[in-house]
Structure 1
Amino acid sequence: MTKPQTFLALNWKMNKTPSESVQWAEDLLGQLGDLNIKLAIMAPSVSLAGLSGVLGDSQVGLGAQDISQHDSGAYTGEVSAAMLKDLGVKYAVIGHSERREYHFESDAVVAAKAAQAIKNGIVPIVCVGEKLSEREAGEQVSYTLNQLRGSLAGVSIQSADDLVIAYEPVWAIGTGKTATAQDAEDMCAEIRGVLKELYPAFAKQIVVQYGGSVKPDNIQEICGKPNVNGALVGGASLQVAGVTGMVDALK
């Protein structure tokens, strides 16, 4: 299997003010050479307009951390896909474990958001992954694959570039604990098996990322596995040096 191009999505979560975001992006662009990977910043919605002005047509794409499942209307606080598209947003993180846990997002809501993104030309990065309790019970595969199927129910794609899947074991997010590279490979291979069922024409080239305490010193081993095509990076994405370190490690 020819691997898809490696894709690093930098998930800032609720960090950086709009002005800090602009300065950070300017610093990063000043230090990046030519990239042999895809790279995108997933920023808070208040920072997207400023970042769009800085990133423009650069090598670094712009992404949102969430998206509404609705076109428009009386949904106070929501941000629609059309609004994001107008800002130049190319990607949206959907169904992150923190959204599922703190905002009670179901698989059905995640699927609706993914479909809304695709309809508007935004690539959804659909997140799935088990908690520690499921892994300790040996149920991590069945749990994650059921979550994946539910999160893609009714979601149609026209090419492999329309969709990204991020496997994030919840127990490894922000804890300093990292699944081994083989753990990541095993689950990403299982995920690709489901993608072959759902999207047989595109499954081999759909990007499947790993997320969970990814850093410059472990990213090469993780992304070197056949079914791991990049990473959704949290804490290590907040410092320019962390990002350039990961980019350099993948050269």
Structure 2
Amino acid sequence: MSSRKFFVGGNWKMNGSKGELDNLVNLLAKNSSETEVVVAPPFVFLDYLHNKKTNFGNNITNYIIFFIALSGQNCYKESKGAFTGEISPKMLKDVGADWVILGHSERRHVFGEKDDLIADKVAFALKEGLSVIFCIGEKIEERENNLTEKICFGQLGAIKDKIKDWSKIVVAYEPVWAIGTGKTATPEQAQEIHQALRKWLHDNISQDASNKTRILYGGSVTGANCKELAAKADIDGFLVGGASLKPEFANIVNSKN
């Protein structure tokens, strides 16, 4: 039995309004779980949700919300400067975020972020005191050419020499071909790559990093498939996109119960 605490992240991407976010967090508040839950709303709503946390008063719903951590969806590698449209780790912390998602496939393949830039951002976010959900994953043509491990190991390798402490990193394996497509890796396929990633951590970082680093699965995770995925030995949780905006997200959070 793994001692790694089960972790579920909800990446709300460019979606939501204050009212919709209220509904989502109130839904989560009705569920008791030992799972570590982190939600990543659009930047403009981080302060709003942080204020709900810090002003919970005697309201039990808001009290439970207090235990849901907040994440940014991205940040830059500098603390300040002439970088129009960017957000710094310090700014994220100032509005209540403890985490940031970096290396997401949409940042890599829609906005063109390369491994070296992502590695710099990961290193700087950690230096500034944020924990990092670090995303890796292959595209469909790479999987069809049996390049899954090569791609994922390369993406991990890009941060290897810039990171000394892995205790504040959660790795999220998200096969690009399964994100928002309705397709998902079978539990066996997901376990196979998670096991390979854990071995990479053992061989390239340390036994301690291999034992303790949580490796999440992301890619069309739903309330219907989450329990079978969560039962696999090396799957330590999920990074959820579309389903994190729906009532079934509560089922995913409780999938390990």
Q: TM-score range by the shorter chain?
A: over 0.9
Return the offset for 1:210.
0.4
Task: Give the alignment of 1:213-228 within 5 angstroms.
Answer: 213-228=220-235
Is residue 2:244 matched to residue 1:232? Answer: no
Distance in 2, Cα, partners of 1:164 & 1:139: 22
Is residue 2:14 matched to residue 1:7? Answer: no
Of the candidates 164, 173, 178, which is equivalent to residue 170 of structure 2?
Answer: 164
Stretches (4+) displaced over 3 A:
none
Residues 213-234 of structure 1: per-residue CA shift (max 9 Å, x gap): 0011111111211111000001
Which position in structure 2 is the counterpart of 1:49? 47
Distance in 2, Cα, partners of 1:154 & 1:199: 15
Which AA in structure 2 matches 1:24? L
Of the candidates 126, 131, 139, which is equivalent to residue 131 of structure 1?
Answer: 139
Which AA in structure 2 matches 1:204? N
> TM-score by structure 2 length?
0.90
Is residue 2:93 matched to residue 1:85? Answer: yes
Which position in structure 2 is the counterpart of 1:99? 107
Distance in 2, Cα, partners of 1:87 & 1:116: 18
Return the offset for 1:179.
0.2
Distance in 2, Cα, partners of 1:137 & 1:14: 32
Distance in 2, Cα, partners of 1:42 & 1:199: 30
User: Given that residues 125 and 131 in structure 2 are in contact (C-alpha distance below 8 angstroms), is that contact kept between their aligned partners in structure 1?
Assistant: yes
Which position in structure 2 is the counterpart of 1:32? 31
Return the offset for 1:199.
3.9
Which AA in structure 2 matches 1:166? A
Residues 119-178 of structure 1: per-residue CA shift (max 9 Å, x gap): 122111110000010111111111211122114441221x62x11000000000000000
Return the offset for 1:181.
0.8
Is residue 2:197 matched to residue 1:198? Answer: no
Secondary structure of 2:189's counterpart equals: helix
Secondary structure of 2:141's counterpart equals: helix
Which position in structure 2 is the counterpart of 1:248? 254
Which position in structure 1 is the counterpart of 2:57? none
Distance in 1, Cα, partners of 2:173 & 2:161: 17
Return the offset for 1:87.
1.5
User: Given that residues 114 and 124 in structure 1 are in contact (C-alpha distance below 8 angstroms), is that contact kept between their aligned partners in structure 2?
Assistant: yes
Residues 32-55 of structure 1: per-residue CA shift (max 9 Å, x gap): 22x211011111100100011123
Which AA in structure 2 matches 1:47? F
> TM-score by structure 1 length?
0.92
Which AA in structure 1 matches 2:185? A
CA RMSD between the two structures = 1.6
Gap change, CA 1:173 and 1:243, over 3 Å in 2: same
Which position in structure 2 is the counterpart of 1:177? 183
Secondary structure of 2:248's counterpart equals: helix
Gap change, CA 1:133 and 1:49, over 3 Å in 2: same
Of the candidates 208, 215, 219, which is equivalent to residue 208 of structure 1?
Answer: 215
Distance in 1, Cα, partners of 2:88 & 2:175: 28
Distance in 1, Cα, partners of 2:255 & 2:210: 27
